Amino acid sequence: MARRIGFISTRFAGTDGVSLEASKWAQVLALDGHQCFWFAGELDRNPNDSFLAPEAHFKHGQIAHIAENVFGRTRRNPGITDLIHRMRVALKNQLQAFVRQFDIDLFVIENAMTIPMNIPLGLALAETISETRMATIAHHHDFFWERKRFAINAIGEFLPMAFPADLPDVRHVVINSLARRDLAHRRGLAATLVPNVLDFDRPPRVDPAEVNRFRQVIGLAPDDLMVLQPTRLIKRKGIEHVFELVKALDNPRCKLVISHEDGDEGVGYGEWLQSAARANGVDLRLIKDNVVSPWRETAADKGQFSLWTVYAAADLVTFCSLYEGFGNGLLEAIYLKKPVVLNRYDSFIADIEPLGFEFLTLDGYLTPDVVAQARRILLEGETKFTGPERNYAIARRHFAYPVLQRRLQSILTEFDAEAAPVFHRHRRAVASDPQSPHPVKVAV
Among 413, 441, 429, CA closest to 131: 429
Mean pLDDT of the chain: 89
Among 225, 341, 347, CA closest to 283: 225
Question: What distance, in Å, lies between the first and last C-alpha atoms of the chain?
Answer: 12
**What SS3 class is residue 232?**
coil
More confident residue, 60 or 324: 60
Residue 118 lies in a domain: yes
Whether residues 174 and 226 share a domain: the answer is: no
User: Once rounded to an integer, what is the mean pLDDT over residues 21-31?
Assistant: 96
Percent pLDDT > 70 in the chain is 89
How far apart, in whole angstroms, are the C-alpha atoms of residue 110 and residue 362?
A: 31
Residue 247 lies in a domain: yes
> 118-176, pLDDT tens digit by residue?
999 999 999 999 999 999 999 999 999 998 889 999 999 999 999 999 999 999 999 99
Residue 42 lies in a domain: yes
Whether residues 382 and 417 share a domain: the answer is: no
Please say whether the beta carbons of 106 and 391 come within 8 A: no
Among 71, 76, 79, 157, CA closest to 122: 157
Q: Which pLDDT score, from 0 to 100, does residue 278 have? A: 86
> 272-310, pLDDT tens digit by residue?
888 888 888 889 888 866 788 888 765 556 678 889 999
Residue 437 lies in a domain: no
Domain with residue 297: its CATH number is 3.40.50.2000
Could you tell me the CA-to-CA distances from 287 to 40, 284, 296 in Å, in that order?
25, 10, 18
How far apart, in whole angstroms, are the C-alpha atoms of residue 278 and residue 346?
A: 31
Task: Estimate to the nearest angstrom the gap between the alpha carbon of 383 and the chain centroid.
Answer: 31
Q: Which pLDDT score, from 0 to 100, does residue 279 have? A: 86
How far apart, in whole angstroms, are the C-alpha atoms of residue 149 and residue 17?
A: 20
> 229-273, pLDDT tens digit by residue?
998 777 778 888 899 999 999 999 999 998 876 655 555 777 788
Whether residues 355 and 418 share a domain: the answer is: no
How far apart, in whole angstroms, are the C-alpha atoms of residue 112 and residue 302?
A: 32
Residue 426 lies in a domain: yes
Would you say how long the chain is, in residues? 444
Question: What contacts 188, CB < 8 A, 6 or more positions away?
Answer: 166
Indicate the pTM of the whole model.
Answer: 0.88
Whether residues 424 and 394 share a domain: the answer is: no
Residue 203 lies in a domain: no
Could you tell me the CA-to-CA distances from 187 to 118, 120, 175, 181 in Å, in that order?
20, 21, 17, 10
Q: Which pLDDT score, from 0 to 100, does residue 263 have? A: 56
How far apart, in whole angstroms, are the C-alpha atoms of residue 89 and residue 247?
A: 52
Whether residues 88 and 170 share a domain: the answer is: yes
User: Once rounded to an integer, what is the mean pLDDT over residues 49-59?
Assistant: 97
Task: Estimate to the nearest angstrom the gap between the alpha carbon of 281 and the chain centroid.
Answer: 32
Range of the domain at 245: 208-398
Residue 202 lies in a domain: no
> 362-375, pLDDT tens digit by residue?
998 999 999 999 99
Whether residues 53 and 18 share a domain: the answer is: yes
Question: What contacts 109, CB < 8 A, 6 or more positions away?
Answer: 8, 9, 125, 136, 137, 138, 139
Q: Which pLDDT score, from 0 to 100, does residue 298 have? A: 59
How far apart, in whole angstroms, are the C-alpha atoms of residue 193 and residue 91?
A: 29
Whether residues 159 and 258 share a domain: the answer is: no
User: Once rounded to an integer, what is the mean pLDDT over residues 408-413?
Assistant: 96
Whether residues 220 and 338 share a domain: the answer is: yes
Judged against a pLDDT cut of 90, whether residue 95 lies above it is answered with: yes
Burial state string for 362-395 with b = 16 or more CB within 10 A and e = fewer than 16:
beeebeeebbebbbebbeeebeebebbeebbebb
Q: Which pLDDT score, from 0 to 100, does residue 384 have? A: 58
Range of lowest pLDDT (117-131, 191-205, 376-390): 376-390
Whether residues 406 and 357 share a domain: the answer is: no
How far apart, in whole angstroms, are the C-alpha atoms of residue 306 and residue 211?
A: 10
Instruction: For 305, list phi and psi in degrees, rounded to 5.
Output: -130, 145
Whether residues 254 and 155 share a domain: the answer is: no
Residue 230 lies in a domain: yes
Judged against a pLDDT cut of 90, whether residue 412 lies above it is answered with: yes
Whether residues 144 and 243 share a domain: the answer is: no
Whether residues 111 and 101 share a domain: the answer is: yes
Number of structural domains (the chain) is: 2
Q: Which pLDDT score, from 0 to 100, does residue 379 have? A: 84
